[in-house]
Chain A
Amino acid sequence: MTILDPVWAWSTFKPTNRQPWNLTQAAHLYRRAGFGVGRGELQRAVAGGVQRCVKQLLHDNQEPQSFQDEMARMTRSIVASGNLQSLATAWLYRMLKTTDQLHEKMTLFWHGHFATSAAKVQDAFMMQQQNDLLRKHATGDFSKMVQAISQNPAMLLYLDSAINRKTHPNENFARELMELFCLGEGNYTEQDIRELARCFTGWEVRNRAYRFNKYQHDFGKKAFLATQGELTGQQAVAHVISTPAAPLFIARKLVKYYVLDEPAASDELLAPLAKRLRKDQFQIRGTLEMIFRSNLFYSQHAVARKIKSPVEMVVGIMRGLSIKTDLTLVARRLQQLGHGIYFPPNVKGWDGGRTWINSSTLLGRSNLMHEIIHSENTTFGNKSLHAHLQNNRIHSLAHAATYFSDLFCAMPLSNHTKAQLVTSAQKETNNTDQQFKSLLHQVVSLPQFQLG
């Protein structure tokens, strides 16, 4: 790949005749910054212009209080039931229904970043509490979020740090704080881990709550990452975040999540984002804005340069076609496809990119879509697929093929491919609604659809 000029990359994208702001670009923005929208919203986004669309996504979509209350009621009753799988269903529901897609997408990012699995924590209350924490800080202050997560009961239990005595400090949390949460592997030594671990001695979980046990805290002098002193756990966290590797590490993860799976972005390319993060004192929103307004984001280096996660795939198509279906089943299937929300595979979260794809998950993706599309419990805008498309003035299979391609395929389908899909759908059945369903299932089984 040609070396990208960081100045060009992060300058504000100005549509031109050659690179217009159109339906394709708007679909790209919604797919990445959120999960996706239907055709009507895309057309409004195109008419309003790219800058307005970004502003809206970032600032104007707050969930109404009534929706927040509805979600709070739902999660309260799930926590009371203790059913961990239902937590995932509820979050899926939120991703589908929220007005603030960007915020939920970012919450999902942090769930992968501060990965904690209900399979080990085995407690709906603590898992939901952590989810609320991630949502609260999702586009806000990273420093506050790290401080909060460091004392989060679910996290401490997950990392076996619910008891931490000064005689033999447990290194697990100290290691992951630097390796996975703040700095990245290679930016600290084993000695740093051992010293940092001492700062967290006496941090405990009792009765599902964080507690500081001063009798087990090591109040002595510690030395790590070029500092020393009688540091507390909070001071230690603050120091870790203040080192130069931290903003670069977060910038790198954001670019991988929102802009491109590969190739890995160079430090030079990331430097302006890292600088912005530092300048904003780790307020995330400004950096997101920089990303979604950038030349790079709308360029060929970014468009279709990501593989959809299973959640992006499902929520995207469900939002795009106003699908209602059995969410419990979908949540379960997502777990089988390697993207079980509340059940990340390990503390590193989801690697994303090519690791989403293998023979098993590819067939699983296609089969899940088949299950959704053909289920008796599924409706499209409360109607059949055919009726829903007619409402959107899509009357022919050929028109529908283009519609699906525009909405869901980051790499548009060629006319030849679309024509062949239509022929196959017609051959398969005489039932019009079934033909549209067959067409849709074919589209979502293609490699072009897997790109986000």
Chain B
Amino acid sequence: MLQNTATTSAILASSTTGINLPQFLLNASESQDENANDNVLVVIQLSGGNDGLNTIVPFKNDRYYAARPTLAIPKDQALKLNDELGFHPAMTALAKLYESGVLSIIQGVGYPNPNRSHFESMDIWHTCRRKTQQRDHGWIGQSVTTALLASQSTPILHLGAEKQPLALSALTPRAISIRSLEQFKLRGNQQAIADAVALGKFAQPDEGNNGLLDFVQSSTSAALKTSKQLIKSAVQDVKRNDAVTYSNSALAQKLQTTAQLIDSPLNTRVYYVTLDGFDTHAQQSNAHQILSGQWSSALGAFLADIKQRGQQQRVTAMVFSEFGRRIEENASKGTDHGTAAPMFLAGAAVKAGVIGEHPSLDDIQQGDLKHAVDFRQVYATVLDWMQWDSATALNGEYSTLPLFL
């Protein structure tokens, strides 16, 4: 919603010599299993509930046109991907990815007993747990804690000004959030502050444990350490790639930075970015068109960039939203909260195609689509590809899907 990330991430993306990376960040792989891969997952979160039906359009379905008198995408405008389905017309870049065989569309993704609250549903997607269960940690944070050595400094990087997504939360290590490189530099007497923080750790005056203090202390230590070394070190390893043009959207800028960082010795394994604004209860058409075009073109540019950098085999992007939207449009030319919707995986390692049937518009529950694929199956498949254990992070065993080559 707030676009104040645009300029700051532009700073990140366009700092002319690129971002300087410290030696300690450069490689943690020597201490790892030699057979372990260095695959990279880039998560793109569409916040607010993306309208799946207007993203992958069932243009042969009369029921779709009956339910969406003002919002339906006309058959002749959908970018056809087969005889029945087409992309939203703003998603030309995504259609190209599909044609070139690097996009997988997973139909009808959701979970049992769907929750239509943004916040509860997002928490479910982030933690794989319901409200009634203990859920302090996210599925990505938990995976990293289980899979990687604590010595790896920045396994997870969140680019954005919004609060850190719960999916990244872990006891250790603390995921790093960066809004802008400029702001990621500590002013004042850094050494004095770092020394005092270190001292405070061993001098808790109170008898009672204060979990909040522990949390702030470890977060401060991690931030100071990363900041100091990120700024101080003058490694010139981040390469610009002017052959690929990204749009000016905040998301595109963040993905451009992500591509640069992936193509640097920084061994970050998960990047996390979000695009907000999908809660289209009123006047959906224009807003959804802009947003769909934004993430489609940003993802297209990102994959082109990654390919030119020769990194395509180790990078997969995953796109999701907390729910889809109601089949019937409302009277405000918008749609209310729904349930199942498509997910997307993109990258050279991905097995391209449409996985699963488009959800039925006749066999429905409470006016909403029934899910056919549990999102945790997609997570399990992705974690498998990362060679990370999934059972703990996903709170159970989930069968994988044929999503990778």
Which A residues fall within an 8 A CB radius of B?
117, 119-120, 159-172, 175, 179, 185-186, 190-191, 193, 261-262, 300, 304-307, 335-336, 338, 340, 343, 345-348, 351, 353-364, 366-367, 370-371, 411-414, 416-417, 420-421, 424-425, 427-428, 438, 441-442, 445-448, 450-451
Q: Which of A163, A168, A179, A425 contacts B192 (CB 8 A)?
A: A425
Closest to A359 in B: B223
Residue among A161, A179, A343, A448 with most chain B CB within 10 A: A448
Q: Among residues 303 to 362 in chain B, which have CB atoms less than 8 Å away from a CB atom of chain A?
A: 328-332, 334, 336-337
Whether A354 lies near B212 (C-beta < 8 A) is: yes
Extra contacts besides A340-B2, A363-B227, A441-B189 (4): CB < 8 Å: A355-B163, A362-B223, A363-B223, A424-B189
In the complex with contacts A169-B330, A335-B4, A345-B163, A366-B177 CB distance below 8 A: no
Closest to B209 in A: A1
> Is the CB of B200 closer than 8 A to any CB of chain A?
yes
Whether A164 lies near B162 (C-beta < 8 A) is: no
In the complex with contacts A119-B1, A362-B220, A451-B216, A179-B196 CB distance below 8 A: no
Q: Which of A172, A346, A416 contacts B336 (CB 8 A)?
A: A172
Q: Among residues 224 to 239 in chain B, which have CB atoms less than 8 Å away from a CB atom of chain A?
A: 226-227
Q: Which residues of B contact A193 (CB under 8 A)?
A: 116
Q: Which residues of A contact B217 (CB under 8 A)?
A: 447
Whether B163 lies near A351 (C-beta < 8 A) is: yes
Select the stretch in B76-84, B180-188, B289-297, B387-395 that faces chain A: B180-188
Q: Which of B186, B192, B336 contacts A363 (CB 8 A)?
A: B186
Q: Among residues 16 to 63 in chain B, which have CB atoms less than 8 Å away from a CB atom of chain A?
A: none
Q: Please, how many angstroms separate the alpha-carbon atoms of A347 and B205 in the complex?
A: 39
Residue among B131, B161, B211 with most chain A CB within 10 A: B161
Closest to B333 in A: A163
Q: Which residues of A contact B282 (CB under 8 A)?
A: 160-163, 170
Q: Closest CB of chain B to A298's CB: distance in Å?
A: 14
Q: Please, how many angstroms separate the alpha-carbon atoms of A205 and B67 in the complex?
A: 26
Q: How large is the interface on B (under 10, 10 to 19, 20 to 34, 35 or more residues)?
A: 35 or more
Whether B205 lies near A411 (C-beta < 8 A) is: yes
Bitwise, B120-138 to A at CB < 8 A (1) or not (0) is 1000000000010000000
In the complex with contacts A162-B282, A428-B189, A448-B213, A359-B227 CB distance below 8 A: yes
Bitwise, B149-193 to A at CB < 8 A (1) or not (0) is 000000000100111100000000011111100011111110111
Q: Closest CB of chain A to B118's CB: distance in Å?
A: 7
Q: Closest CB of chain B to A350's CB: distance in Å?
A: 9
In the complex with contacts A165-B331, A168-B329, A414-B205, A357-B189 CB distance below 8 A: no
Q: Closest CB of chain B to A263's CB: distance in Å?
A: 9
Q: Closest CB of chain B to A159's CB: distance in Å?
A: 7
Q: Please, how many angstroms separate the alpha-carbon atoms of A234 and B192 in the complex?
A: 59
Closest to A354 in B: B215
> Is the CB of B197 closer than 8 A to any CB of chain A?
yes
Q: Which residues of B contact A117 (CB under 8 A)?
A: 1-2
Closest to B223 in A: A359
Q: Closest CB of chain B to A128's CB: distance in Å?
A: 19
Whether B219 lies near A359 (C-beta < 8 A) is: yes
> Is the CB of B399 closer than 8 A to any CB of chain A?
no
Q: Which residues of A contact B227 (CB under 8 A)?
A: 359, 363
Q: Closest CB of chain A to B154's CB: distance in Å?
A: 10
In the complex with contacts A411-B213, A420-B199, A360-B177 CB distance below 8 A: yes
Some 7 contacts from A to B, beta carbons below 8 A apart, are A172-B281, A262-B211, A336-B4, A353-B212, A411-B210, A442-B192, A445-B186
Q: Please, how many angstroms separate the alpha-carbon atoms of A362 and B283 in the complex?
A: 38
> Is the CB of B195 closer than 8 A to any CB of chain A?
yes
Q: Please, how many angstroms separate the alpha-carbon atoms of A85 and B211 in the complex?
A: 36
Whether B366 lies near A366 (C-beta < 8 A) is: no
Q: Which residues of A contact B163 (CB under 8 A)?
A: 338, 345, 351, 355-356, 358
> Is the CB of B203 closer than 8 A to any CB of chain A?
yes
Q: Which residues of B contact A359 (CB under 8 A)?
A: 174, 176-178, 184, 219, 222-223, 226-227
